[in-house]
Structures are given as structure tokens and as C-alpha cells.
A = this chain, B = another copy of it.
Amino acid sequence: MTSKKILLVVCDGLSDRPVKEFDRKTPLQVAKKPAMDAIARHGISGVMDVIGPGIVPGSDTAHLALFGYDPYKTYTGRGPIEAAGAGLIMERGDVAFRCNFATVDGSFNVTDRRAGRIKFGTDELASAVSGMAIGDVTAILKEGTEHRAVLVLRGPGLDHRVTDVDPHREGPLLESRPLVPEAKKTAEVLNEFVRRARDVLDQHPVNRNRLRDGLLPANAILPRGGGSTKGLERICERYRMRCGAVVGVTLVKGMCRLVGMDVPEVQGATGGLDTDYRAKAEAALNLLKTHDFVFINVKAGDVASHDGDFRTKVRVVENIDMMMGMILKEVHEDVVVALTCDHSTPVSLKEHSADPVPIAISGGGSRVDGVKEFDEISSAAGALGRIRGMELMPILMGMADRAEKFGA
């Protein structure tokens, strides 16, 4: 028995609802998509509640579930995901926070939560406070895009269950409080970091120059959304596969790094409508040479949906189909290819929704049902039935002959 490779393609938010103005069709029903339909025609289809029926998935929790992790047990705030997205490798026991660079006055009142949407210099500011030792804890700060940053606390006895320092609006900066007794030390360290960072940042040349130029100083760090990676077993160990990902958008890139996938930088893969589909296809085909499991995320459908733009979304479907066509042409029929979405984002809603997503799987040991098209309704008639996101990885492992027998 030779175990097969797996390619999982997740079209972010591509699943939709019927749109009245377009003959009550969905973008997937309207678009021409021969490659996507070929997967349905040569394989098995179904629909999937990515987290559970009636649960509206976030992109982060959805991807946790799609990778086989229970988001209710492993999802502990955005901090670790953002940290991974920013390239910070978290160690077991670390606690991470999303942060804003902000402007505070002399009494620690937040006067601008985004420091005038600062664009430049946050790398220097972050460096000035990163590495700070607070007792036996080290604070690591890494700038993100614009006013965003990530804080990782590293040391013994930390716990992420603390309240935010970020007041989430203008007004007095908050003291972090422990939500459980075990998190007392973390709250104290966090508050001390915020106080000391204020002193360092206020005097920093970047901020003195900003003041001189009439800009708001980025003289405070506002941590929020603390989380840990406790319980997130690495995906390569869990499934005994070498796993790689082709992803543009930072949040999902973070998810992939967090579970231990290789995530090469792909020139032109932007996570936007302008992403380079050919580059993504080539990167995926390259990864398939060296890796057992390759994951692709295409964000553009979600972007079009958030804009409420049906026609653009149809074009996105056709672009993804072109990418899938390039891939299918090169991929051996032994490779298990799964095509699905992380959640629905109806253009009529401009937000994620709880509607289940279509899924089609071909190649490997796949059965073949009568479904001939990949869309929200056609797929639902398939032999795969209605599955859960967390069941997807085990199902793919089974079809790739990588599952272990339980019993005799």
C-alpha cells in the first residue's frame, strides 16, 4: 500500500447564497469553471459545516478546523495567529498579544488608538523595546503593517487568560487583570511592559521627529487578544506528513506557520484581487514535489464578497478555475485533490455566514458519484453527504491511504 499525496485548495469565502438580481443564482452557479467541475465529475461531492451547523466561522477558526484541530479547544485568541503571521516562532508556554501602536497623553489617556495610522518607523520603535526583560520574562515585540504589532511574552508560569490593556476606544489605558488565578503573573508582566515601553517610546527619535513634523507620536503599545499555542500539536507530527502551504493573506499564513507548515514566500501572491494565480499554481506544483500535503488558500473571493460585488466574484471563480486547470494538468491521478471553502461570504451580506460550503474530492482512492458541478446546490447531492470541517483531514487521510487501523 503506497500512501498518496494530498492537495487541499480552500477558496476563501467563495461559497454564497442565491442572489435575487442574478436569477437567484450564486457566483459559483454562474461562473464557467471547467476545472472545478472536473473535480466534482471525477470524484465525490458534499457540503461541509466548517465548524458546525449554524456557526459562522472566522477565517482563523475555520482553518484550524480544516486542518483537523478542534477550534473550541485550540483557539485562544488571535495573538498567536498574528504572531505566526508576522514570522515570530512561538515556543511552548509563550503568550502572544495583538497590539496597536497608539498615542497616549501624560496621564496614560489614549488619544489615538492608531497613532495617526503611523506607516513608517514602527520597526525602529519595536526594536527599541523588544527583548525587554521583566523578571524572568522576556518581551518580544514585532511590528506589523501600519500601526499593528505583535507582542510575545516568553518565560515560566505564563497564562494567556488576562484582560486587554487596549481600551478599544479613546480613553484611559486599562490595567490588565487575570481572569484566572494562574494568570496573575502574566497580567503583572504585561502592565509593567506597557509602562516601561511608554517611557522608552516617548523619548525615541522616531517620535520626536513625528512631533516635529506635526504627526501623532506612537508612544504606547496596546496589547489585546492574548492567546497561547498550548494544545496545538504540529501538523507534520499529527499526520506524519511533510506539509506546505501557498498563502498570500497574513492571517491564514499565520495559521499555517502556527501548525508547522512550510510557507514559502510566493512573489505576487498578495491575498487580494490582484493575486498572481499562475504563480500560486506553480508554487503549489513545486511544493508537491517535496511535500506530502500541500494547502492553497485563495483570498480573492472573500474580498469581492466583502465589497458586495457579484460580477467581480464570478471573475474570481473563473480565475481560480484557471489556476486549478494549470494544477490538474500536471497532477498525477493518485494525488487526492480536495476543493472547498473556509466559509460562505454571501455578496448579499458582505459578511461571513453560517451556510455550509461545497466540497469535492477526486484522485487517490476516491469514489465517483453522479455530481457533475461544483457549487452550493449540486455538491449537496453528492455521496460525501454533509460533513464537518474537522472530519475533512481524517477523510483525506483515509482516501490517501494514510489512516491507521483501529483494532484488528
Contacts and interface: CB of A to CB of B under 8 A. Distances in A.
Contact of A385 (B1, B47, B81): B47
A268 interface: no
Q: Is the interface of A mostly helix, strand, loop or mixed?
A: loop
Interface string A360-373: 00000111111000
A251 interface: yes
Given A54-B396, A367-B18, A394-B53, A407 B354 contact: no
A198 interface: no
B403 A54 contact: yes
Given A53-B395, A353-B365, A377-B369, A61 B406 contact: yes
A52 interface: yes
Given A18-B368, A54-B391, A354 B71 contact: no
A397 interface: yes
A104 B215 CA distance: 86
A56 interface: yes
Interface in A157-190: none
Nearest to A378: B383
A383 B383 contact: no
Contacts of A59: 407-408
A386 interface: yes
Contacts of A61: 406-408
A387 B52 CA distance: 11
Contacts of A405: 56-58, 351-352
A381 interface: yes
A113 interface: no
Contacts of A394: 52-55, 354
Contacts of A395: 53-54, 354
Contact of A403 (B56, B58, B376, B397): B56
A51 B349 contact: no
A404 to B, nearest CB: 6
Contact of A401 (B60, B353, B368, B380): B353
A396 B55 CA distance: 11
Nearest to A16: B367
Contacts of A399: 354-355
Contacts of A385: 47, 380, 385-386
A24 interface: yes
Contacts of A384: 380, 386
A150 to B, nearest CB: 14
Interface in A239-288: 251
Interface string A311-346: 000000000000000000000000000000000001
A71 B406 CA distance: 9
Contacts of A26: 367
A78 B406 CA distance: 12
Contact of A376 (B1, B78, B383): B383
Contacts of A60: 407-408
A130 interface: no
A348 B57 CA distance: 38
Contacts of A194: none
A393 interface: yes
Interface centre among A26, A383, A385, A408 (most CB of B within 10 A): A408
12 contacts: A1-B350, A53-B387, A54-B393, A54-B398, A55-B398, A56-B404, A60-B407, A61-B407, A81-B408, A348-B365, A355-B398, A386-B386
Closest 4 CB pairs of A and B: A54-B394, A58-B407, A354-B398, A61-B407
Given A54-B394, A57-B407, A251-B408, 20 more contacts: A1-B349, A26-B367, A47-B385, A52-B391, A53-B391, A54-B391, A54-B395, A55-B406, A57-B406, A58-B408, A75-B406, A75-B407, A346-B365, A353-B398, A354-B395, A376-B383, A377-B383, A380-B385, A384-B386, A386-B386
